[in-house]
Amino acid sequence: MSDFIFQVVIALLLAKVLGEVLRKGDIHPIVGDILIGILLGPTLLGFLRPEGGIEYLASFGLIVLMFYTGLTSDIRTLARRKGLIMLTGVSGVAVTFILIFLACLGLGLGLWASVFIALALSNTATEVSAIIMERARGVDTEIKQIVIGASFIDDVLAVYLITLLRVFTEGTIATEVLILTSLKIVVFILAAIYISKLVVTRATNLIYKLLSSPPRMITTSIIIAFSLALVAKLAGLNEVIGAYLGGLAISRLREIHDPMLVNILRIESLSMNLRVMLESFLTPLFFLYVGVLYNATLSSEHVTILIALISLAATGKVVGCGLPILAVRKNLRDSLLVGAGMIGRGALESAIIVFALKANLITPEYYDIILTTTLTLTILAPLILKLVMKLTRKI
């Protein structure tokens, strides 16, 4: 235990120091967290291992982060913009998938390998988008919520499609499996939204008791976040979806008629406490873990495919997600900000390519290439958003 505590202290210290240096150079601190993870991980120094304590802390931080993201979202805004959010998410996945799939076929990869690589890289990491949008000063709140909502749609689509592909690659197309998977996703999301609405309108007294003090409110919120994350996992979905819906459920306290603004003040207090916890400890640990996972051994001959995948993965999101925003809002800056905000990749992509590797659909060589692409996009995402904000400031 003492060794692990020492490792965490050293890792956080180095990440914070590098983050401050990068911040002065106008570079996002996330980049520093990932680079320190690579430095201390198996690829270079071997000081940190991806399994064990740091993995559990990173998973804990990820769930808290997604709960916080849902908590700071306004479900009424999401509902009002649901058509645009869904169109943005689906369009981003479709355009990116097509570009990468065709490129992989052109580079000589097999059909299923091309499908899995395209699927793995067509998804936006909700957790990465959440952090980038949270730290992006000067971006309109509605744009932030569109990005988070669209990346949430991405995650749901990715989980759904990977389930379908698993059935196809096993050689049998079981209609009941496809129907069951579809029903689980729809029922889970609708149930979470409906029950939260029911609680807000019918159980006001219970809410006041549970949330009567900051410690009780934090404890109750964490229990809700992890409970819904567990239910999502049991339903075959990603845990982040459940945690995000848990945050959305608590955020509905804003809908209670409250002339004294007590509920809003409680939510703001909870958000502030969680934000401090995330920025000081949990978020850096999560991105340290992302860096520690990197263990690629790539040669110079892989540079071409690496550049192609990185370019197409970024372009697909900027074009696919940006065009619906441009068509609806008639604002080039908004469309570019949404496209740039959707570039980041994260944990779900890693899960997809691990499955593909174990199913012998891709070789370890291509596993490393995809992981390198994912990591590079995670590093580039905040930098590209920052660049877009500067270039479009006068638009």
Close Cβ partners of 6 (under 8 Å, ≥ 6 residues apart) = none
* CA 159 centroid distance within chain: 13
Residue 224 has pLDDT above 80, yes or no: yes
Confidence band of 45 (pLDDT split at 50, 70, 90): confident
Closest CA to 150 of 107, 108, 88: 88
Confidence band of 174 (pLDDT split at 50, 70, 90): low
Q: What is the rounded (10 degree) CA torsion for 194, 195, 197, 200?
A: 180
Residue 172 has pLDDT above 60, yes or no: no
Residue 31 has pLDDT above 60, yes or no: yes
* CA 124 centroid distance within chain: 6
What is the chain's mean pLDDT, rounded?
Answer: 80
pLDDT number for residue 260: 60
SS3 track for the chain:
CHHHHHHHHHHHHHHHHHHHHHHHCCCCHHHHHHHHHHHHCCCCCCCCCCCCHHHHHHHHHHHHHHHHHHHCCCHHHHHHCHHHHHHHHHHHHHHHHHHHHHHHHHCCCCHHHHHHHHHHHHCCCHHHHHHHHHHCCCCCHHHHHHHHHHHHHHHHHHHHHHHHHHHHHCCCCCHHHHHHHHHHHHHHHHHHHHHHHHHHHHCHHHHHHHCCCHHHHHHHHHHHHHHHHHHHHHCCCCHHHHHHHHHHHHHHHHHCCCCCCHHHHHHHHHHHHHHHHHHHHHHHHHHHHHHHHCCCCCCHHHHHHHHHHHHHHHHHHHHHHHHHHHHHHCCHHHHHHHHHHCCCCCHHHHHHHHHHHHCCCCCHHHHHHHHHHHHHHHHHHHHHHHHHHHHCCCC
Q: What is the pLDDT of residues 124-134, one digit of tens each?
A: 877 677 777 77
Q: What is the pLDDT of residues 144-159, one digit of tens each?
A: 888 888 887 887 777 6
Residue 211 has pLDDT above 70, yes or no: no
For 138, what's the count of Cα atoms within 13 Å in the CB-facing half-sphere?
A: 11
Q: In whole angstroms, give the CA distance from residue 150 to residue 129.
A: 10
Q: In whole angstroms, give the CA distance from residue 367 to residue 120.
A: 11
Q: Residue 267 belongs to what domain range?
A: 2-391
Residues 252-264, mean pLDDT to the nearest whole number: 67
Confidence band of 162 (pLDDT split at 50, 70, 90): low
Residues 307-327, mean pLDDT to the nearest whole number: 93
Q: What is the pLDDT of residues 92-133, one digit of tens each?
A: 999 999 999 999 898 887 887 788 888 888 888 776 777 777
Residue that has been written with the tokens 């129907």 in this structure:
179
pLDDT number for residue 239: 79
Residues 54-67, mean pLDDT to the nearest whole number: 84
Q: Are 84 and 325 within 8 A, CB to CB?
A: yes
Q: What is the CATH number of the domain that holds 261?
A: 1.20.1530.20
Q: How many domains does the chain have?
A: 1
Residue 173 has pLDDT above 70, yes or no: no
pLDDT number for residue 361: 67
Confidence band of 54 (pLDDT split at 50, 70, 90): confident
Residue 329 has pLDDT above 80, yes or no: yes
